[in-house]
Amino acid sequence: FHEAPSPFLQSARCYARPVRKRRKDFPSHLDDLPPTMLKKDYANVPIINSVDDVVKRLLSLEMASQKEKVKIKTQQLVEKVRRSPNDNGSFEVQVAMLTAKIRTYEEHLQKHPKDKNNRRRMLMDVDRRRKLLAYLRRVRYDVFENTCKQLNIEYTSPPAYSRRVTKRWLVKKALCLKVFQEVRKLKAPERLKQRQEWRARARARAE
């Protein structure tokens, strides 16, 4: 048998609810897109100038989704680095498209840091972009510099070799060093004998 809580206790419980933290408003790379800009599919339609203002507002970025805004932002980045109007697959264009995807993933992970699936996809795109930039840096350095400048990318060369130091790896390394030293000790008399023979042959040749 449980006694019903008093009204005072109920009000105290409601008052003592934990306050939820307000999410921070992180800056977005889509903030520079004007809300009056038309969507990508309707920007080049000839009849768009004669429609009503309400229709224009419905077809503008003010009513657009995140996916449609990312499409326009990707197109803007591609226009900065493409070689010609028909260039849709060069290394610079691929870097621009990957840059838009990576920045979108970064904003998403700032709001949802536990989303491991999108984090894995972002790391894969970062690695792919790094390989493309490394190729451009090796083959066409002027294009590489222009691409990094236009897309505001700071390229850092990866380390020559990196490995995560674990306890198992340290034990294995110590065992290999110990085995190597023991083998050298066992082969030391044989090496000394070989050196004495080489010196005796050299003396015989000199005489």
Is 192 domain-assigned? yes
What CATH number should be reported for the domain holding residue 127? 1.10.287.10
Query: Do 170 and 129 belong to one domain?
Result: no
Query: Based on the structure, what is the number of domains in the chain?
Result: 2
Alpha-carbon radius of gyration of the chain: 33
Query: Do 124 and 202 belong to one domain?
Result: no
Query: Do 146 and 175 belong to one domain?
Result: no
Domain final residue, candidates 105, 126, 151? 151
Q: 10 Å Cβ neighbour count for 69? A: 20
Q: Tens digits of per-residue pLDDT, 44-84?
A: 666 666 666 666 666 776 677 778 888 888 988 999 999 89
* AA letter at 113: P
User: How much is the mean pLDDT over the chain?
Assistant: 81
Query: Do 183 and 114 belong to one domain?
Result: no
Domain final residue, candidates 151, 180, 198? 151
Q: Tens digits of per-residue pLDDT, 159-199?
A: 666 667 788 888 998 999 999 999 999 999 998 999 999 99
Per-residue pLDDT at 106: 92
In the chain, at which residue ranges do the beta strands (DSSP E only) sit?
Answer: none
Query: Do 62 and 135 belong to one domain?
Result: yes
Query: Do 63 and 131 belong to one domain?
Result: yes
Is 57 domain-assigned? yes
Is 144 domain-assigned? yes
* AA letter at 26: F
Query: Do 136 and 187 belong to one domain?
Result: no
Is 27 domain-assigned? no
Per-residue pLDDT at 50: 66
Backbone angles phi, psi at 32, to 5 degrees: -80, -5
Domain range for 131: 40-151
Query: Do 67 and 104 belong to one domain?
Result: yes
Query: Do 195 and 143 belong to one domain?
Result: no
Query: Do 77 and 110 belong to one domain?
Result: yes
Is 137 domain-assigned? yes
Stronger pLDDT, 14 or 156, i.e. the higher one: 156
The C-alpha atoms of residue 106 and residue 109 are separated, in whole angstroms, by 5
pTM (2 decimals)? 0.61
Query: Do 97 and 199 belong to one domain?
Result: no
- pLDDT of 2 above 60: no
Is 128 domain-assigned? yes
Is 141 domain-assigned? yes
Query: Do 139 and 177 belong to one domain?
Result: no
Backbone angles phi, psi at 21, to 5 degrees: -70, 135
Is 121 domain-assigned? yes
Q: What is the distance of C-alpha 123 from the center of its chain? A: 4
